[in-house]
Amino acid sequence: MLKRWMPVLVVDDSLTMCAIMQEILHALDFNDVQMRRSATEAINELKRRDYGFVLCDVDMPAIDGFQLVNMMRRDEALGAVPVILTTGYPSLITRMLKSGAPFPASGFILKPFTAKDLRDKLSEVIESAYQRKELLPRHFAGYSGVEPI
């Protein structure tokens, strides 16, 4: 079950892709969707506010999606936030998987994707994170006795 009250951050250098992903997320009943066009903007936004998950393009200038996820994983406050990487270039994912390095993101989805594709991937990633209690928002932590992230 998806938790549609969670804010979502979309990170893509393409304004068109940001708008498409926002439209799909709205169609999936995610009402609070924020967009950032660079990894630097995304990190600043993630430090400012809690997000339920991040959709991030792999191929961005300056700091790419892999680097953004690695930065998040090294940050104690952001390390457990699920990230789904998006790309139209399967070779970028293949290269990362073949490198032997751990895959930094929670999952990936290839562009172009449909609302159903995204919903299915979100269900998989979000439910997995909630089952591990990695996604407990700070303001709900006191109800379960689990420390917030």
In the structure, what pLDDT confidence band is assigned to residue 133 with cuts at 50, 70 and 90?
A: low
CATH of domain 8-136: 3.40.50.2300
Q: Tokens 């990695």 correspond to what residue?
A: 134
pTM of the model: 0.82
User: What are the structural domain ranges in the chain?
Assistant: 8-136
pLDDT digits (tens, 9 = 90+) for 46-105: 999 999 899 999 999 999 999 999 999 999 999 989 999 999 988 888 887 778 777 888
Q: What is the DSSP letter of 146?
A: P
| 144 or 11: which leads in pLDDT | 11
Q: What is the pLDDT of residues 15-58, one digit of tens each?
A: 999 999 999 999 888 899 999 999 999 999 999 999 989 999 99
Query: Which alpha helices (DSSP H) does the chain contain, by range?
Result: 15-27, 39-48, 65-74, 90-98, 115-131, 141-144
Q: Which residues of 6-15 are buried (b: 16+ CB within 10 A; e: fewer)?
A: bbbbbbbbee
Structure tokens at 114: 């449909």
